[in-house]
Structure 1
Amino acid sequence: MIEFAPDIPRWRQVAEVIRQRIKNGTYAPRTRVPSVIQLMEEFGIATQTAHKVHRALRAEGLIYTEPGMGSYVSKDLNFE
């Protein structure tokens, strides 16, 4: 787990961790990112907080969700 800063919403902090993992290649294009349940377990966050993380990353185009299959890193990312 990470130590959360009190003045930044937790979902933003967790989204930043996942964003950095995508940028550094921990999660490569077309590979699964942690599910809502996995985010809850790893970061000790609530269900709604984990859903906000996924929504934010989808809105940025970093991940996409296949219904019933999971969420994956988008294939054409450019971090310049």
Structure 2
Amino acid sequence: MSIELDETRPKWRQVASILRARIADGTYPPGSRVPSVVALTGEFGIAAVTAQKTLKALREEGLIRTETGMGSYVTGLPSRPSPD
């Protein structure tokens, strides 16, 4: 079962906001893996390209790092709440 997303807002922004909150609340502590593209597509009912865009945004914010063939890992905590 996937999480319901607001159809009037970009899905990747909504998923990124949820992942940011999970990082901030310790669900995904520093050093832990974040869900893969496949896991995100299943959990949120989004396309793979949307999941990739979500992870790219978190990488650009410095919240995660991606190791080829290994996955994406939390590197830090959000510095401020996101408006998403």
Match of residue 17 from structure 2: 16
Identity %, equivalent residues: 57
Q: Report the TM-score when normalising by structure 1.
A: 0.91
State how many pairs are aligned.
79
Match of residue 51 from structure 1: 52
Tell me the C-alpha RMSD between the 2 structures: 1.3
Runs of 4+ residues deviating >2 angstroms:
76-80
The alpha carbon displacement at 1:5 in A equals: 1.3
- Change in 2 beyond 3 A, CA 1:56/1:78: closer
Q: Which runs of 5+ in 1 are unaligned?
A: none
Distance 1:55 1:4 in 2: 19
Q: Which runs of 5+ in 2 are unaligned?
A: none
Q: Report the TM-score when normalising by structure 2.
A: 0.87
Distance 1:42 1:78 in 2: 22
- Change in 2 beyond 3 A, CA 1:21/1:47: same
- Change in 2 beyond 3 A, CA 1:48/1:78: closer
Match of residue 77 from structure 2: 77
